[in-house]
Amino acid sequence: MTHPTAVWLDAAGISLNRERQALSKQDLHNTLGVLAPGSESAIRIAQFRGDVFQGRLVNPSEQRAAGHWALRQAIDFDGLLELPSEFSPQGRDLIPEMKATHQRMARFVEAVQRGDIRSTSGMPYRQIVHLGIGGSDLGPQLLIQALGEPRSSGQTSAGFSASFLSNLDYHATDHCLRSLNPAETLVIVASKSWSTQETMSNANHLLTWMHAAQIKNPKNNFVGVTSYPEKATSWGIDPSACFHFDQSVGGRYSIWGPVSLAARLVLGNNLVDKFLSGGLAMDHHFLTTPLSHNLPAVMAATDFYNLRHRRLPTLMVSAYDSRLGLLVPYLKQLWMESLGKHVDRDGNPLQGPSCPILWGDVGTNAQHAFFQLLHQGAQGVAVELIGTLTPEHQDPQSHQALLANLIAQAQALSVGNPDADPQKSCWGGHPVSVVMLDRLEARELGALIALWEHRVLCLAAINNINPFDQWGVELGKQISRQVLSEFTTPDSNQSMVDRASKDLIRWVLNKSLDT
């Protein structure tokens, strides 16, 4: 076994270089202090990991387990992997049901791709509109963008175009629909509760659009993905077109299940199943590797050290692969919606922030934007650069130039370049991690996303917080519903609408009348 401060760690086609996380071996060793055997944090990580994978109640505020990892077991996988064989949060194993849904979804995808399932206009489906928001939107988008290009193995998309609508802003809806033919459009409505305001509003817009085009039985061109299939069928979706995922699966963790139906239609079942297999490989690593060499644990310990000891409030992530343009938006939600807490699981105030603010953009674009602040600004920032070792294109010189930029930025951000002219001096001093994927294929992408999920789990355990609820998000939803009613019935004494909001509502209404 290598030394606990080893600068290289790897698992499931992903390698981590930690050399630039510190300028001394002692400092590099200190970053892993919370993982010391027998430490309170190490014990909490092991306990929380076990509780999640044994289906115990880990989300007490909602009285739920966390079942996203079980969705990955819907596929057949190498029996040599040491993984749990069941997920029984209420005393009943849910994995057989997840497998049955997976198989039914796969058959549906194949039937649509063959043209056996068609639009009610009689035309094969060629266009997909996916309605969702948050994790129910970003997950399938990320898969399609990252894996949708022609692969070196000859795999290509199935000839479908996919559009995504998430926002309430009708400008986006109007723009999207102008380019679509309602006679060959399949609409996927992904809403865990089947009551998400943005998603259901857009579903009604799409329904109106089809009615206006005189599409026969338009609701038969809709598919529902939800934890409440009875609500979807009451809305009008055929039971055969409803795909269920359990309430234990949070939206930001739902990429592994039916929420990614659009990605399956575009990419094919085989490719998305390989994505799931990468997640399983990372599960195996997470469950069987000592914490000192466990990628998610080591990265979470580093995050905690940079945040609490180096007092660096943000983490900048830049992927040097244009296919990962949606990775940072996806990770921002997973990271900050899970870890944005101010009290621990017992209600006690935390001794500091629970996670760094995550931000970033694709390299090399980011170098010509905000990297200037990193090099010469006064703010300290933790940095993570992600690259791929082997490209899917045939221009090795271009890829070498891309990796040269990644390596150069890692050095410049860490070491800097002092100069006698202070206007030219770059101070360095940022802790930098370099993450390299063997290649950006489905399996590696699955491992990368699962790595971040487990990294969230480990940092939550170190902080002793619940990463599976999001009551801050719910507050905004509750207030917005009451504000909306104030627009139609001013001064209705809605309990959550304060005076400043009422004043703003009146101002908007008066200005609207003036125009």
Residue 11 DSSP SS3: strand
Q: In 3-state terms, what secondary structure has residue 439?
A: strand
Could you say which of 3, 171, 368, 511 is catalytic? 368
What span, in angstroms and rounded, lies between the C-alpha atoms of 503 and 514?
17
Q: How far apart are the first and last CA of the chain?
A: 72
Residue 202, C-beta contacts closer than 8 angstroms, at least 6 positions apart: 131, 165, 166, 168, 173
Residue 508 DSSP class: H
Contacts of 237 (CB under 8 A, 6+ apart): 189, 219, 222, 223, 224
103: its two tokens: 């198989």
Which two tokens mark 69? 């990892």
Helices vs. strands in the chain: H and E counts, helices first: 17, 11
Tell me, yes or no, if 393 is annotated catalytic: no
Q: What share of the chain is helix, strand, coil (3-state, %, to 5)?
A: 50, 15, 35
In this structure, the strands spanning 382-390 and 432-439 are parallel
**Residue of 337, 384, 444, 453 marked active site:** 337
| CA 211 to chain CA centroid, nearest Å | 34
Using alpha carbons only, give the angle 65, 67, 71 rounded to the nearest 5 degrees.
170
Give yes or no: 477 in active site.
yes
Active site residue 474: no
Query: Which of 287, 311, 324, 310 shows the shortest CA–CA distance to 437?
Result: 324
> What is the side-by-side order of every strand in the sheet holding 432-439?
8-11, 14-17, 432-439, 382-390, 314-319, 357-360
- Cα 352 to chain centroid, rounded: 25
Say if residue 78 is exposed, middle or buried (CB neighbours under 10 Å; 0-12, 13-18, 19+).
Answer: exposed
Where do the H-state alpha helices sit in 59-134?
68-72, 95-114
3-state SS string over 126-178? CEEEEECCCHHHHHHHHHHHHHCCCCCCCCCCCCCEEEEECCCCHHHHHHHHC
What are the tokens at 185? 């459009």
Rounded-to-integer distance, Cα 356 and Cα 350, Å: 14
Supply the residues annotated as catalytic.
337, 368, 477
